[in-house]
Amino acid sequence: MKRELDAISEAMVFFKIKRGLIITENTERSEKVDGGEVILIPIWKWILEKPGLSRA
């Protein structure tokens, strides 16, 4: 996970983005990095929270 956090942090600084997102298998947490904040979210939760994907 360190490799992914380092890479997204570098990209966030380069593109001047304050928040990043990493979709994981089962990890859910928030990490502070040089560029701002990275949210780690499990794929199942990311899919369920996507607007327009609900079957209701």
Which residue, 24, 31, 20, 17, is CA-closest to 45? 24
The answer to whether position 7 is within a domain reads: yes
pLDDT of residue 54 exceeding 70, the answer is: no
How would you label 28-46 residue by residue, b for 16+ Cβ within 10 Å and e otherwise?
eeeeeeebeebebbeeeee
Q: pLDDT at position 49, please?
A: 85
The answer to whether position 55 is within a domain reads: no
Domain residue limits at 14: 2-49
The answer to whether position 31 is within a domain reads: yes
The answer to whether position 56 is within a domain reads: no
pLDDT of residue 56 exceeding 80, the answer is: no
Q: What is the domain count for the chain? A: 1
25-50 pLDDT, tens per residue? 999 999 999 879 999 999 999 999 87
- Report the alpha-carbon distance of residue 38 to residue 9 in Å, rounded: 8
The answer to whether position 35 is within a domain reads: yes
The answer to whether position 13 is within a domain reads: yes
